[in-house]
Amino acid sequence: MKKIIKRFIITLGFFTTIPVKYIEWEEDDTKYLPLFMPFIGLIIGGLLYIIYNLLLYLELSSVFLSVVYITYFILITGGLHLDAFMDTMDAHFSRRDIDKKLLIMKDSNVGAFAVVYLFVLLMVKFAIINELIIEEKLGYIILLIPVVSRIMQVFLLTNTKYAKEDSLAIMYKSLNRKYQYLFYGYVVILVAVYYFIFNDFNLLYLFISAFIYMKIYQRFAIKQFNGITGDVIGCYVEIVEVILLGVVILL
């Protein structure tokens, strides 16, 4: 139990800015971090759900609430996934060979493509969130989207080859693929509980949408970078969450 708590705290501290006690990492701990990702997503979504519902009582405009939504995700994750998105865009649109793309991705300097596509991503995200608020469709779904994206992130991790040995993704190289069955269990339980409470399959549609995009993104990652890196994985999380918000509009 102590090891489980320790690894959960390590995961929480690494993927969020929530203040936690610093714990010294051991090499064996890192491979278990993905197992806690859905719970990190649940915490991120749960806090946002609370904040969002509190702000609703103030009768604030949909524009203001949309800005709060976007700002919250940047602050709670420390911009981790946005940074990964920007690095991936810079590398991809450089149109160089794979080795050069990986070097560009590693470069800490921000390029023009990163800025342009960051603007596009945030504008699209803002427009979708604003529409969802106006249509009163946001609600509980903001609790679930971070969970779905992080479960699918683990499937991407365990089913795609790694582009380079020094990437963040390689931390999880020794994660046994048998743990995928645990995540299949997560999906089944979440969809069943959701259906029992709300009597619809909206959550299932979100999982299906995220899975379809994951398969497309897999091919993109292998073609453009010869596999995944930490940045490529983080980029997936950013994009798929916007896609899932768009799917909610259609539900």
15 pLDDT tier (thresholds 50, 70, 90): confident
- The reply to whether the predicted model has a pTM over 0.85 is yes
* Distance, CA of 160 to CA of 172 (rounded, Å): 12
The pLDDT value given to residue 210: 94
* Distance, CA of 67 to CA of 233 (rounded, Å): 25
Nearest to 41 by CA among 86, 3, 77: 77
- Would you mind telling me the total number of residues written for the chain in this entry? 251
The pLDDT value given to residue 172: 61
Q: What are the pLDDT digits (tens) for 71-95?
A: 999 999 998 899 999 999 998 888 8
What average pLDDT does range 194-206 have in this prediction? Answer: 85
User: For residues 169 and 228, is the Cβ–Cβ distance under 8 A?
Assistant: yes
What are the domain boundaries of the chain?
A: 2-250
Q: What are the pLDDT digits (tens) for 110-145?
A: 888 889 999 999 999 999 999 999 988 888 888 899
175 pLDDT tier (thresholds 50, 70, 90): low
The pLDDT value given to residue 174: 57
User: For residues 220 and 96, is the Cβ–Cβ distance under 8 A?
Assistant: no
Average pLDDT of the residues of the chain: 85
Nearest to 151 by CA among 49, 244, 35: 35
The pLDDT value given to residue 188: 84
Q: What are the pLDDT digits (tens) for 27-53?
A: 666 777 778 888 899 999 999 999 998
User: For residues 132 and 138, is the Cβ–Cβ distance under 8 A?
Assistant: yes
The pLDDT value given to residue 43: 92
* Distance, CA of 152 to CA of 162 (rounded, Å): 17
24 pLDDT tier (thresholds 50, 70, 90): confident
Which position has the higher pLDDT, 52 or 1?
52
The pLDDT value given to residue 171: 60
pLDDT surpassing 70 at residue 182 = yes
Assign 203 to helix, strand or coil: helix
